[in-house]
């Protein structure tokens, strides 16, 4: 009897070594060896020291101050190649770890190349004190704080947008670039106009001679008195209070206060009664803060009555005081 053979299958693991190189970084400056002028635009490339065949290698171009920073995934030994039109190529060999990572590379450049670099770094085409290589607007004069560009003035009012509170609306310097307004178009600027929404004149600081608000209130007012009475009935108090507030606003307005009486009783008595009535209205306005010299008292008696004294109703209406603007 043949023995049973157990065939054991072994898993064979093949471990391939992986080589991972850390990224290497280098930095430095590129200068002309004769003038020590920093060279902008020089190409810096890192390659393996021993190159077999052609290949692609990334590079970095030096900044305006000649500086560069470059990294590579290649391992030592390496070569740092620096090239620039008009200059002799330079190669630095970096053989092992631990050597310097910062370099100053001096290149032998033609005099014309260096002269051109100096011209480019010192030329100021617009004469604004900002050299062209740093000037964002080399053909337009402007301050350094704005990159050599002029400050914009969108509304062309002479106030730069950065200082203009109304950059899209032409104005004046005194109002930070905003226009002087005259809403009611009466020739008095709003800032000097006591009545900016009501056309007036200069002598009244922009207010009208006959303010509509006062005209409206006195035209619709009724200051009535009882028979033989010289004190306004209570309903008149609200009107006089409103009138006093308007007189404070329009401080240039003066009033005529005319008292009347019906024809009941002697004419001499009615004359005195009408004067007392107008005098008491004046006193009420004075108590509300209106100056006495702005109020003219006139007693009309029973003459020139607002209504004919031919009915009881009309005689009641004639026991009144009428107010008008002088």
User: For 66, which DSSP code?
Assistant: S
Query: CA geometry: angle at 213 spanning 209 and 217, to 5°?
Result: 115
User: For 50, which DSSP code?
Assistant: S
Query: Token pair of 50, please?
Result: 């021993």
- pLDDT of 109-168, one tens digit each? 888 888 888 787 788 889 899 988 888 898 889 999 998 999 999 999 999 999 999 999
Domain ranges of the chain: 25-50+57-113, 212-325
What CATH code is assigned to 212-325? Answer: 3.30.1330.60
Query: Do the Cβ atoms of 82 and 90 come closer than 8 Å?
Result: yes
- pLDDT of 68-117, one tens digit each? 999 988 888 888 999 998 899 999 988 877 667 899 999 998 888 888 88
Handedness of CA 226, 286, 206, 209 (dihedral sign): positive
Give the three-class secondary structure for 294.
helix
Predicted structure pTM score:
0.48
Query: Do the Cβ atoms of 206 and 193 come closer than 8 Å?
Result: yes
Query: Whole-angstrom Cα distance, residue 97 to residue 223?
Result: 110
The verdict on domain 25-50+57-113 having CATH code 3.30.450.20 is: no
């Amino acid at each position: 009897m043949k023995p049973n053979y157990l065939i054991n299958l072994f898993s064979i693991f093949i471990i391939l070594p992986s080589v991972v190189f850390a990224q290497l970084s280098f930095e430095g400056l590129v200068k002309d060896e004769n003038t020590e002028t920093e060279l902008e635009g020089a190409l810096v490339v890192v390659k393996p020291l021993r190159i077999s065949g052609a290949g692609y290698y990334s590079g970095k171009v030096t900044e305006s101050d000649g500086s560069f920073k470059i990294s590579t995934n290649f391992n030592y030994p390496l070569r740092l190649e620096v090239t620039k039109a008009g200059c002799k190529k330079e190669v630095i060999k970096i053989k092992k770890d631990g050597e310097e990572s910062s370099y100053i590379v001096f290149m032998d450049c033609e005099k014309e190349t260096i002269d051109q670099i100096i011209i480019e770094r010192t030329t100021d085409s617009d004469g604004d004190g900002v050299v062209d290589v740093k000037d964002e607007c080399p053909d337009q004069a402007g301050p350094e704080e704005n990159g050599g560009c002029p400050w914009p003035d969108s509304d062309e009012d002479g106030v730069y947008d950065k200082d203009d509170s109304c950059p899209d609306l032409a104005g004046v310097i005194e109002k930070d670039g905003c226009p002087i307004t005259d809403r009611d178009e009466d020739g008095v600027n709003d800032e000097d106009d006591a009545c900016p929404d009501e056309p007036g004149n200069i002598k009244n600081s922009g207010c009208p001679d006959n303010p509509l608000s006062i005209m409206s209130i006195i035209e619709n007012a009724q200051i009535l008195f009882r028979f033989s009475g010289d004190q306004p009935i209570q309903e008149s108090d609200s009107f006089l209070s409103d009138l006093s507030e308007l007189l404070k606003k329009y401080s240039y307005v003066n009033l005529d206060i005319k008292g009347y009486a019906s024809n009941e009783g002697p004419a001499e008595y009615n004359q005195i009664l009408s004067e007392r009535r107008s005098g008491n209205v004046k006193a009420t306005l004075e108590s509300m803060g209106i100056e006495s010299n702005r109020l003219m008292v006139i007693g009309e008696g029973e003459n020139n009555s607002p209504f004919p004294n031919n009915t009881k109703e009309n005689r009641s209406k004639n026991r009144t005081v009428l107010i008008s603007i002088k």
